[in-house]
Chains A and B, each alone.
Chain A
């Protein structure tokens, strides 16, 4: 059925399928800009967490583990965090979300928000633990906590945006 598509249509389909990955990379870059807003730097929300959670539940085939790994890698490179930290945490999040997607799919919004909250808390604890082991000291947890709260608070807005984007990505069937 795809044999008579024009090159433009094929490129269009590919671009639509790449949307989740582009969102993730875009958010990493946006999160690295100097906003000169007081105290924002250390607590800028972990948008990639939202990206990975949302798409792992909604359309896992659009964000394969390799893409998640790359996004985490890119994030660590730009932020200067220990390389491998974000990849590890994001892959864990993906694994959990894909496993539990039946719990969330087609349910009320607040259920997936609560699920995100739980996963974000877990992700924050795991990253804090890894960073502490890596640096050989207990890393100050204040900023991690604030970042967690901001990330959970911003989830509805981002997931609304993703839901809108999801509608324009064709299903493979």
Chain B
């Protein structure tokens, strides 16, 4: 029916199609170039990334609120159904924990006594910045979260990110008001940890599966099911003793860890400002957020 129209439009249309084909080829090459540049010079691409995310984070922040409200509703209604059962369980747990509290108090006294006797150097103080998770950026290749606090709030690259359950990951990119957290399960995540009971050191290595692996365990180091894994503090980047998870499986030297933090339940997180010299910054981070906001520090960290 439209044959006359087609005939009239054929010349410019084919011209346009040819033009589009060339554009497509150029853009394909450009994408490949982006991949190569990103691999060769990550900081260059990181700057670009941070700028775009800064622009998008207000939108994500607004949209993440109804989502979290909905989640709240679902969780609350589910809780209502199991209220009785939960109450009974908590009473039992409470009785159990009270016994533990007595033990803990006694041990605390003992430990502080020993510390005084030995005149041991205290771990540096740490402060933290808490923020809301505004993005769980999907995809099978990277495991990251976005949070709505950035450089201006005292968040720095490399800081440990935790919630009430334990360690979540580390800060990998910071913008002015938003940051990206790399989860422990991500392919690029390496965290120095130790087996709490036996004190064997290892690296917790993510591989994009649900359960990260314990690698670089010493040859005589053994892990048994249910062993608690905590951060070791080696490298000085993460505070020692943060709970990470428990050993889930041990198969022919392949030790997998079940993390304490459930990625899907994370709503608020805290980035720990550990008071040590920071390898990614030009100068040590001060212990309070107010101090980190000074203009010299801003300049130092941006460079």
Contact = CB atoms under 8 A, between A and B. Distances in A.
Q: State yes or no: do A and B come from one complex.
A: yes
Interface of A: 29-44, 60-61, 64-66, 68-69, 72-74, 77-85, 87-88, 91-92, 94-95, 127, 130-131, 134-135, 137, 139-140, 142-144, 146-147, 173
Nearest to B44: A83
B63 A87 contact: no
Given A29-B60, A41-B263, A43-B140, A69 B30 contact: yes
Contacts of A40: 138, 264
Given A91-B27, A134-B39, A83 B136 contact: no
The 7 closest A-B pairs by CB, nearest first: A84-B34, A44-B138, A143-B140, A88-B31, A84-B35, A34-B136, A87-B31
B5 A173 contact: yes
Q: Which of B5, B53, B60, B136 has the most CB of A within 10 A?
A: B136
A85 B35 contact: yes
A92 B137 contact: no
Interface of B is mostly: helix
B208 interface: yes
Interface stretch (B142-150, B237-245, B283-291): B142-150
A41 B264 contact: yes
Contacts of A146: 140
A33 B208 contact: no
Interface stretch (B64-72, B92-100, B114-122, B214-222): B64-72
A91 B56 contact: no
A91 to B, nearest CB: 5
Contacts of A36: 67-68, 71, 136, 264-267
Interface in B46-80: 48-49, 52-53, 56, 59-60, 63-64, 67-68, 71
B187 A82 contact: no
Q: Which of B28, B33, B137 has the most CB of A within 10 A?
A: B137
Interface in B185-228: 187-188, 207-210
A131 B16 CA distance: 33
Main secondary structure, interface of A, reads helix
Nearest to B30: A69
8 contacts: A33-B135, A41-B264, A61-B16, A79-B138, A79-B144, A81-B139, A82-B35, A94-B24
B38 A83 contact: yes
Interface of B: 2, 5, 9, 16, 20, 23-24, 27-28, 30-35, 38-39, 45, 48-49, 52-53, 56, 59-60, 63-64, 67-68, 71, 133-146, 172, 180, 182, 187-188, 207-210, 262-267
Contacts of B140: 42-43, 139-140, 143-144, 146-147
Contacts of A61: 16
Given A78-B135, A139-B187, A72 B31 contact: yes
Contacts of A92: 28
A92 to B, nearest CB: 7
Nearest to B36: A84
Contact of A38 (B39, B53, B264): B264
B39 A41 contact: no
B35 A139 contact: no
B53 A78 contact: yes
A93 to B, nearest CB: 11
